[in-house]
DNA sequence: TTCATTTATCTTGACATCAAGATTACCTCC
DNA sequence: GGAGGTAATCTTGATGTCAAGATAAATGAA
């Protein structure tokens, strides 16, 4: 198989630091680099539907929640791995664009409900289909069984993080 | 095996959008989420050595280059996947901290050489060892053969990006 | 030689993010 | 029914990043 950037990177490290075992990078550097490439691909895929990646993340969380497509900022925080200040800003901008609406909870007046608008639902549904089409293309190099094994191996690495929430 | 966040996420999508095949997410969402967790782990590991992740990335590229630990901003761009404006800012800050020095090339006066200082070399060498110790811990759940397979599968996904430079 | 093109780097302006703290409202225990 | 503690959200200030364009120098064709 052809060499990728990480092969060259670890080879260089082995030359410069032969005293170290850099083999962990062969897995984890590829994860990081692949994620950066995926971010760019996602950005391009969403741009066709007029959404930024961070906009999709919020809208998708609401969409996944099912009818009536409504969650609190606090729940959205947990699903998107951002801070509260960031979520405030995101909801502000999504509201300004008419993709979601925000209203105060009547029972707990500290709380807020963020709800997908009809426009938001249409946007996120279209963007999701574009995303999946793009992702299928990126995975074309792997067979079904390989994808399954890859997913399983990745799950093993992710699980410790999901268990102990940061 | 226990469920992770991505299992819950795809299950929710299948409930809301039973018409779509969301299986690509089982691989790619895990890559993205794992990368976010790795970023945080890297940040913590580097903090012990007084470096930010972006600082390490630049210093490590110079360190890997070998004696005299000197590269141009343009080459650093390619290795770190950032834009030229970002690299200018990074080199500015690293210079201010005394981790690298910058001087104009004598032959091509458009060009600049960024060189690791002795302090920069010591910092990046120490941080690298901390990073690897941390990465070994994160990979503890996988055996040697599993790591190799995982690395191979990831290489297959990364290669198309490395070939066609964005 | 000279001018247009290309290359290498830097500058600018906008923006998303975070950490820390402020604000407002609920809740529990005396 | 207060008072202190907790919870949910928002505000502020600093920072890192990008996209697009500016600057400056090398290159090549006529």
Reported ipTM: 0.85
**How many other C-beta atoms lie within 10 A of the C-beta of residue B160?**
14
- Under 8 Å between Cβ of B28 and A38: yes
Distance from C-alpha of A119 to C-alpha of B18, rounded to nearest angstrom: 21
Distance B28 CA to C3 C1' (A): 51
Query: Tens digits of per-residue pLDDT, B42-95?
Result: 888 888 888 999 999 999 999 999 989 999 999 999 888 899 999 999 999 999
Question: In this complex, do A162 and B4 lie within 8 Å of one another by their Cβ atoms?
Answer: yes
Bridge partners, residue A71, by sequence: A114
Determine the distance between B41 (CA) and C22 (C1') in angstroms: 30
Where do we find the tokens 């990074």? B90
Question: Which residue has its C-alpha nearest to nucleotide D12's C1'?
Answer: A85
Which is more confidently placed, B37 or A162? B37
Q: Rounded to whole angstroms, how far apart are CA atoms B5 and A164?
A: 12
Amino acid B112 CA to nucleotide C4 C1' distance, rounded Å: 25
| Rounded distance between C-alpha atoms, residue A31 and residue A54, angstroms | 20
Question: How far, in Å, CA of B134 to CA of B45, rounded?
Answer: 7
**Is there contact between A73 and strand D, defined as CB under 7 Å from any strand atom?**
yes
Q: Which sign, positive or negative, has the C-alpha torsion B70, B75, B80, B82?
A: positive
Q: What is the pLDDT of residue B44?
A: 85
Residue with tokens 């141009």, as numbered in its chain: B72
Separation of CA B55 and C1' D13 in angstroms? 22
With a cut of 50, say whether residue A155 has pLDDT above it.
yes
Query: For the segment A69-110, what is each residue's pLDDT rounded down to a tens digit?
Result: 999 998 989 888 899 999 999 999 999 999 999 988 888 888
Q: Is B114 helix (H, G, I), strand (E, B) or coil?
A: strand
Q: A163 pLDDT band (50/70/90 cuts)?
A: low
Q: Is nucleic acid strand D under 7 Å from A65's C-beta?
A: no
N-to-C CA span, chain A? 38
Which one of B25, B58, B153, B166 makes the best mutation probe of the A interface by having the most chain A beta carbons within 10 Å?
B153
Q: So what's the pLDDT on residue B166?
A: 43
Q: How large is the average pLDDT for residues A53-63?
A: 92
Over residues A139-148, the mean pLDDT reads 93
Q: Tell if the CB–CB gap between A158 and B35 is shorter than 8 Å.
A: no
pLDDT classification of A124: cutoffs 50, 70, 90: very high
- Coil, strand or helix at B140: coil
On average, the pLDDT of chain A sits at 90
Statement: residue B163 has pLDDT above 80: no
Considering the domain B51-137 in this protein, what is its CATH number? 1.10.10.10
CB < 7 A to strand D: residues 96-135, chain A: 102, 108, 110-112
Q: How far apart are CA B23 and CA A132, in angstroms?
A: 9
Confidence category of residue A114, pLDDT binned at 50, 70, 90: very high
The residue among B43, B2, B9, B1 whose CA lies nearest residue B29 is B9
Residue A70: alpha-carbon gap to chain centroid: 20
The answer to whether the CB atoms of A16 and B66 lie below 8 A apart is yes
User: Whose C1' is closest to the CA of A43: which nucleotide?
Assistant: D18
Question: In this structure, what token pair is assigned to residue A58?
Answer: 């919020």
Q: How large is the angle between the packed helices A5-16 and B53-64, nearest 10 degrees?
A: 70
Q: Which CATH number fits domain A52-163: 3.40.50.1360, 1.20.120.1770, 1.10.10.10, 1.10.240.10?
A: 1.10.10.10
CA distance A91 to A54: 11
The whole-angstrom separation of Cα B114 and Cα B20 is 50
Contact by Cβ (8 Å): A93, A87: no
CA distance B11 to B20: 12
Average pLDDT over residues A129-152: 93
Contact, B91 CB vs strand C, < 7 Å: yes
């Amino acid at each position: 198989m052809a060499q990728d950037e990480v092969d060259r990177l670890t080879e260089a490290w082995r030359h410069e630091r032969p005293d170290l075992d850099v083999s962990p990078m062969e897995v984890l550097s590829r994860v990081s680099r692949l994620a950066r490439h995926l971010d760019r691909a996602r950005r391009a895929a969403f741009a066709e539907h007029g959404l930024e990646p961070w906009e999709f993340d919020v809208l998708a969380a609401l969409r996944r929640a099912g009818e009536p497509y409504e969650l609190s900022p606090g729940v959205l925080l947990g699903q998107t791995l951002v801070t509260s200040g960031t979520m405030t800003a995101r909801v502000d901008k999504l509201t300004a664009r008419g993709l979601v609406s925000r209203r105060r909870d009547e029972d707990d007046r500290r709380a807020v409900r963020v709800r997908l608008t009809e426009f938001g639902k249409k946007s996120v549904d279209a963007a999701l289909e574009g995303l999946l089409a793009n992702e299928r293309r990126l995975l074309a190099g792997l067979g079904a069984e390989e994808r399954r094994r890859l997913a399983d191996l990745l799950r093993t690495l992710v699980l410790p993080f999901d268990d102990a929430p940061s």
